[in-house]
Structure 1
Amino acid sequence: MVDLYVYYKVRDENAARLAPLVRALQSRVIEAGAARLLRRPGGGDGVQTWMEVYPAVPERFADALAAAAGSAGFEGLVEGPRRVEVFVEFPPCA
């Protein structure tokens, strides 16, 4: 299992339209309550940084998420690419 982090930019004027689309995507691809949608505080130039967090998902989850996001209606609402980062737990110390 891995933790998946997806971050991207959103213009202030698109935030209210995009948030329900992201939450709908999250409810379709993962158990309710497990996914999180975060926003970096502050921001500037009318652009926000958002992050979707998917804890303890299978390694192949990123492919399924990318496919689902492609048809989620995000076109024109996200500035630039959605960047994906994968993190794993440190192994326990012996």
Structure 2
Amino acid sequence: MDCYVYYRVSSHNAGAARLAVARLFALTATRFGVSGRLQWRDNASARDTAAGTTTWMERYDGVGHAFVAALTPLAVESGLTALIDGERHAECFVDVVDAPPACA
């Protein structure tokens, strides 16, 4: 399963938040052997522009349910949750497996 976690970061917290994400990724690598990727929205939404924030996304590929359950406590431990605007939102997806062809 692949997990995507998105949230908003204000411009004045961006530097500290990047360091916190680096700590979070170090924790996920050490405890679960999982590497994360950090991305941010290329085209700012009207909400981001008005609030002076950017939408960030963490991406984790090939993870299990235990990893997903540990993400929130690890984000707290890394200090990231104190630096974001609002909440972190996690969404997980699995690959679609093609159904076998029907018998003729």
Give the TM-score, by structure 2 length. 0.79
Cα distance in 2, alignment partners of residues 49 and 68 from structure 1: 20
Could you say which structure has the larger radius of gyration? Answer: 2
Which of structure 1's runs of 4+ aligned residues deviate more than 2 A?
Answer: none
Residue 8 of structure 1 corresponds to: 7
Unaligned runs of 5+ in 2: none
Matched pairs, number: 92
Paired with 1:75 and 1:62, the residues of 2 have a C-alpha distance of: 16
Structure 2 vs 1, CA of residues 76 and 69 (structure 1 numbering), >3 Å: closer, same or farther? Answer: closer
Cα distance in 1, alignment partners of residues 88 and 77 from structure 2: 14
- Alpha carbons of structure 1 residues 75 and 66: separation in structure 2 relative to 1, 3 Å: closer
Task: Work out the CA distance in 2 between the residues paired with 1:37 and 1:3.
Answer: 14
Amino acid at match of 2:6: Y
Given the two structures, how large is their TM-score scaled by the length of structure 1?
Answer: 0.87
- Structure 1 75/28 Cα, relative in aligned 2: closer, same or farther at 3 Å? closer
What is residue 65 of structure 1 aligned with on the other side?
A: 71
Secondary structure of 2:65's aligned partner: coil
